[in-house]
Amino acid sequence: MMDQFERYCKLCEMEERCHSRTVYLKVLASAWIMAALVMAGLLFNAYDHDTWPLPLGFLLITVMTLGSLGLLTLWGLDHFVFWRQWKALSAAGRQLETDAHDTPAMRSIMLPMQGKPGPILWMRCFYTAPLLVFILLSGAVLIGGADRLFAPHPDLFSLDMHYLSIVLVLLQLSAAIGMITARPVRMPQTDISSPTASKTSAVSNDAKEVLDGLAKVGYFKKMKGITQSPPSVGISEIVWSWIGAFIGIAAVAFANYNIIDETDLVMVIGSFGATAVLLYGAIKSPLAQPRNCLGGHIISAVIGVTCYKLFHTHMWIASSFAVATAIAAMHATKTLHPPGGATALIAVIGSSKIHNLGYLYALIPAGLGAAIMLVVALFVNNIHHRRRYPEFWI
């Protein structure tokens, strides 16, 4: 009995220590945020920056990046160490309350409140909100001060740090995406109507579930993969894939070089090569079906042209915005087609001949070229008795 009581007291002491460490971590994170903002304010108010060895814009973005990386480190400790340690301690406490009938079922009573997303959402906002502020400040400096704040001093520093600053901003964006998309470990949901409801085998199983999950969760462990590569395809599949790709690309290229060669139109774009891989080499893939092929190219082309018209003065923003928005739009319309990302990117970084097409680019070459390759796929992919295309239309 005494041994059980000592274990319970030790567990409560460990939980209190874990809570106090998370409080210290929040204080340190708050101090880090204030230090980054104060340093940025001091840099903004320094009018004699012409005598500095590094451009002012680069220094500002460097401070914001250090603030973001510091927040990412502190969030990692909070999320992957203390938060999960507290979860494991709570699960162990519930197990102890189940085994010892004379201990209060406090953790089981608190379980429904612990499982709600409120504290998890608050913890995520505590770190991501200032990180988004850092990104917005860096973006404002990068867009608004490209000429003045990034001009190198000829006597002190001769390199233009504008492109390195772009890399630092992308690093901040990666940190924000990692924080926002990370999935916290949640306590298992249990229907608890009274304090005595914890004295069941379900509590024991739930605690074991949490502890087993904590042992398996790891960010870098997910990079190991979970299975082996699929077996190689047969000779007939290779031959028919080659025939289909040859005819499909030949049809589009023939139209480009022999039919519309004297016009301002274009029929061949680089993304059609990736489309050929899907239409003729992966015919059962959901990404290779007619809805995805036509819809993905046309939607992405419209988005790419729009992004070029809006952000053509900042090509790196136009390029990234076009591809990211195209992916989101294809997801939303169930037309995900990987070559569509290339179609959107080509609309931004393509030649003047592409840019002069405007929104006609969505019809010729994106729509018409994809339609020609789709017609070829319908005929070629159904010749062999073991090949069938498509899997679905709508």
Question: What share of the chain in percent tops pLDDT 70?
Answer: 67
Query: What is the structure's pLDDT at 239?
Result: 94
Query: What is the structure's pLDDT at 342?
Result: 96
**What count of other Cβ atoms lies within 10 Å of the Cβ of residue 390?**
19
Mean pLDDT across 257-264: 84
Domain extent listing, the chain:
2-224, 235-380
| Model confidence band, residue 378 (pLDDT cutoffs 50, 70, 90) | very high
Query: What is the structure's pLDDT at 7?
Result: 65
User: Per the confidence metrics, is the pTM higher than 0.85?
Assistant: no
User: 207-249, pLDDT tens digit by residue?
Assistant: 444 445 444 445 566 677 778 888 899 999 999 999 999 999 9
Query: What is the structure's pLDDT at 106?
Result: 58
Question: For residues 311 and 319, what is the distance between their CA atoms, to the nearest angstrom?
Answer: 9
Question: For residues 89 and 334, what is the distance between their CA atoms, to the nearest angstrom?
Answer: 43
Question: For residues 136 and 83, what is the distance between their CA atoms, to the nearest angstrom?
Answer: 28
Angle at the Cα of 104 from the Cα atoms of 101 and 106, rounded to 5 degrees: 135
Check pLDDT > 90 for residue 178: no
Mean pLDDT across 1-29: 70
Check pLDDT > 70 for residue 172: yes
Check if the beta carbon of residue 301 is closer than 8 Å to that of residue 371.
Answer: no
**In whole angstroms, what separates CA 62 from the centre of its chain?**
23
User: 295-328, pLDDT tens digit by residue?
Assistant: 999 999 999 999 999 888 889 889 999 999 999 9
Question: For residues 43 and 298, what is the distance between their CA atoms, to the nearest angstrom?
Answer: 46
Query: What is the structure's pLDDT at 145?
Result: 61
Question: For residues 379 and 311, what is the distance between their CA atoms, to the nearest angstrom?
Answer: 41
User: 107-159, pLDDT tens digit by residue?
Assistant: 555 555 444 554 566 666 777 888 888 888 887 777 766 555 656 555 544 45
User: 35-87, pLDDT tens digit by residue?
Assistant: 888 887 777 676 555 555 667 777 778 888 888 888 888 877 777 777 667 66
Q: Which of the two residues, 278 and 142, has the higher pLDDT score?
A: 278
Question: For residues 5 and 57, what is the distance between their CA atoms, to the nearest angstrom?
Answer: 61
Mean pLDDT, all residues of the chain = 77
- Comparing CA positions, the residue from 8, 297, 316 lying closest to residue 139 is 316
Question: For residues 166 and 320, what is the distance between their CA atoms, to the nearest angstrom?
Answer: 12
Query: What is the structure's pLDDT at 51?
Result: 58
Question: What share of the chain in percent tops pLDDT 90?
Answer: 34
358 φ/ψ sector (left φ>0, alpha ψ -120 to 50, else beta):
left
Check if the beta carbon of residue 316 is closer than 8 Å to that of residue 338.
Answer: no
Mean pLDDT check: name the lowest of 121-125, 292-296, 332-336: 121-125
